Amino acid sequence: METSLRYGKDSKALRIHAKEKFLIDSNTRLQLSASLGVGLQYTKHEKLRYFVRAKKGFPVTSNGLLSFNIKGRCDVDKEFKQKNSKGAAEFSWSIFNFQREQDIRFKLGYEVIDKVPYFQIRENNWTLNADMNGRWNVRYDL
């Protein structure tokens, strides 16, 4: 299970986030080339929501450290009436051992539906996300 502490501009509290990844059969092409997530989300205001998300990466360099990714997410309320969708295209550049025992990843992307550029900087367990609308969040992976 992956857990993290998260705080963002729109938050009024520090959140603990947990997620579990379930492996698909090792011969399944989806596992080797893309990821797919399906689940439930419960919030204080919106109650129960269902979501599905997918991501597909295309290596730009032969070592795979620079890649082009497309991703999307759709979530709906429990009556399947209110739908929220997101889609993005991004470049991701990973630098392993930037300094001793320090890995860094930069992402630069564009959220297609909201028409907003964004970036991410990740250093080992710390992640900073921000977009051109002034939204930001910080995450620490436990």
pLDDT band at 33 (very low <50, low <70, confident <90, very high): very low
Domain 2-9+36-141: give its CATH code. Answer: 2.40.160
Q: Which residue has the higher pLDDT, 80 or 19?
A: 80
Q: Based on the number of CB atoms within 10 Å of its own CB, is 88 exposed (0-12), middle (13-18) or buried (19 or more)?
A: buried
CB 111 within 8 A of CB 99: no
The closest alpha carbon to 88, from 67, 60, 113, 123, belongs to: 113
Q: How many residues does the chain have?
A: 142
**Cβ–Cβ contacts within 10 Å for residue 99, how many?**
9
25 pLDDT above the threshold of 60? no
Asked whether the predicted pLDDT for residue 21 surpasses 50, the reply is yes
Q: Which of 2-11, 30-39, 80-89 has the lowest average pLDDT?
A: 30-39
How much of the chain exceeds pLDDT 90, in percent? Answer: 46
What pLDDT was estimated at residue 124?
A: 92
Predicted structure pTM score:
0.72
Average pLDDT, the chain: 82
- Give phi and psi for 86, each to the nearest 5: -140, 150
Q: What angle do CA 110, 36, 139 make, to 5 degrees?
A: 60
pLDDT, tens digit, for every residue of 103-136?
999 999 999 999 999 999 999 999 999 999 999 9
Dihedrals phi, psi of 114, to nearest 5 degrees: -85, -10
Of residues 11 and 93, the one with the higher pLDDT is 93
In angstroms, the Cα distances linking 11 to 15, 48, 63, 135 are: 9, 19, 38, 11
